[in-house]
């Protein structure tokens, strides 16, 4: 089989030929590097879908290299909206800065009674491996690089829902700017998450939390043109930020 990989140096696809056996893309990349082309650059760690290092795009869709079975004709590219460092290796620092901007951590601990049900409530969200696949799939970054983005908002939501968090308000304040209202609820993130996380749903949950805290509901404001004009009689601010 042959696959094509976008090489940064030539800014073009390079074709590689592989034996016709079933293998993961990561295994294929390692084989290419070891036997055909030592300059091919990519990142990997655990090969078991848990270290979050190896996400790329295959035929336009984000996958973990270690969890994708390579197929004849696959087109491999680096993640979107990340500065490409070399070939498939991207700079994750700008994207991970969103965690800092969202203050996605436990602000102030308070002791609480927790049950199995509480654990299950945000179990999925805490499965996140920070692979950045969702970030790459999110169309908002094409127009707004300051958007907090799916994984940071999922993480912020996970802490806001923790009964041990006594300062939910601090999180609520942070996620409103370039945050929950900028999301178009397109589900791009949810569709590609290798861990089955649903950032779109988490963002929806954060929205209601924001409203519960007495802030304005900007659901309709952000929808931009193309949606019916609810007009000022509904009391929405139609000069959304999107």
Q: Which positions lie near ligand FES, rule CB under 6 A? A: 44-47, 49-54, 64-66
Spell out, one character per residue from 71 to 110, where the chain touches other proteins: x when CB under 8 A holds, - when not: --------------xx--x--xx--x--xx--xxxx--x-
**Three-class secondary structure of residue 63 per DSSP:** strand
E strands within 12-58? 12-17, 55-58
* Smallest gap from residue 23 Cβ to ligand SF4 (A): 23
**Three-class secondary structure of residue 76 per DSSP:** strand
Of 4, 126, 204, 219, the residue at the interface with other proteins (CB under 8 A) is 126
| Residue-level length of the chain | 242
Task: Give which of 99, 32, 29 is closest to 68, Cα–Cα.
Answer: 29
Please choose, out of 34-42, 55-63, 138-146, 205-213, the segment that lies near other proteins by the rule CB under 8 A. 34-42
Task: Give which of 137, 136, 144 is closest to 224, Cα–Cα.
Answer: 144
Q: Which does 24 bind (CB under 5 to 8 A by kind): other proteins, ligand SF4, ligand FES, none?
A: other proteins
Q: Which is nearer to ligand SF4, 7 or 124 (by Cβ)?
A: 124
Q: Is 159 left (phi over 0), alpha (psi -120 to 50) or beta?
A: alpha
* Smallest gap from residue 99 Cβ to ligand FES (A): 18
Tokens read off for 219: 């659901």
DSSP 203-219: HHHHHHHHHHTT----T
Q: Which does 232 bind (CB under 5 to 8 A by kind): ligand FES, other proteins, ligand SF4, none?
A: none
Q: How many residues bind other proteins (CB under 8 A)?
A: 58
86 membership: H or E segment, kind and range? strand 84-86
Backbone angles phi, psi at 69, to 5 degrees: -80, 120
**Three-class secondary structure of residue 69 per DSSP:** strand
Of 77, 87, 132, 165, the residue at the interface with ligand SF4 (CB under 6 A) is 132
Of 17, 34, 94, 217, the residue at the interface with other proteins (CB under 8 A) is 34
Residues that bind other proteins (CB under 8 A): 9, 22, 24, 33-35, 38-39, 41-53, 67, 69, 85-86, 89, 92-93, 96, 99-100, 103-106, 109, 111-119, 122-123, 126-130, 155, 158-159, 162, 164-165
């Amino acid at each position: 089989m042959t696959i094509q990989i976008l090489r940064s140096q030539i800014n073009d696809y390079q074709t590689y030929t592989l034996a016709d056996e079933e293998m993961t893309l990561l295994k294929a990349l390692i084989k290419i590097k070891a036997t055909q082309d030592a300059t091919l650059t990519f990142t990997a760690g655990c090969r078991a879908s848990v270290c979050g290092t190896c996400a790329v795009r295959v035929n336009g869709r984000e996958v973990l290299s270690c969890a994708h079975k390579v197929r004849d004709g696959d087109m491999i590219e680096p993640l979107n909206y990340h500065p490409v460092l070399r070939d498939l290796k991207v700079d994750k620092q700008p994207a991970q800065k969103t965690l800092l901007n969202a203050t996605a951590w436990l602000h102030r601990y308070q002791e609480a009674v927790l049950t199995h049900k509480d654990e299950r409530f945000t179990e999925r969200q805490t499965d996140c491996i920070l692979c950045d696949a969702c970030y790459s799939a999110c169309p908002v970054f094409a127009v707004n690089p300051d958007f907090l983005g799916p994984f940071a908002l999922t993480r912020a939501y996970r802490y806001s829902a923790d009964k041990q968090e006594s300062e939910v308000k601090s999180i609520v304040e942070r996620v409103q700017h370039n945050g929950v209202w900028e999301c178009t609820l397109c589900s791009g993130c949810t569709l590609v998450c290798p861990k089955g996380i649903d950032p779109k749903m988490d963002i929806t949950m954060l929205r209601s939390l924001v409203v519960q805290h007495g802030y304005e509901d900007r659901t309709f404001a952000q929808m931009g043109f193309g949606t019916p004009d609810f007009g000022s009689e509904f009391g929405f601010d139609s000069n959304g930020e999107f």
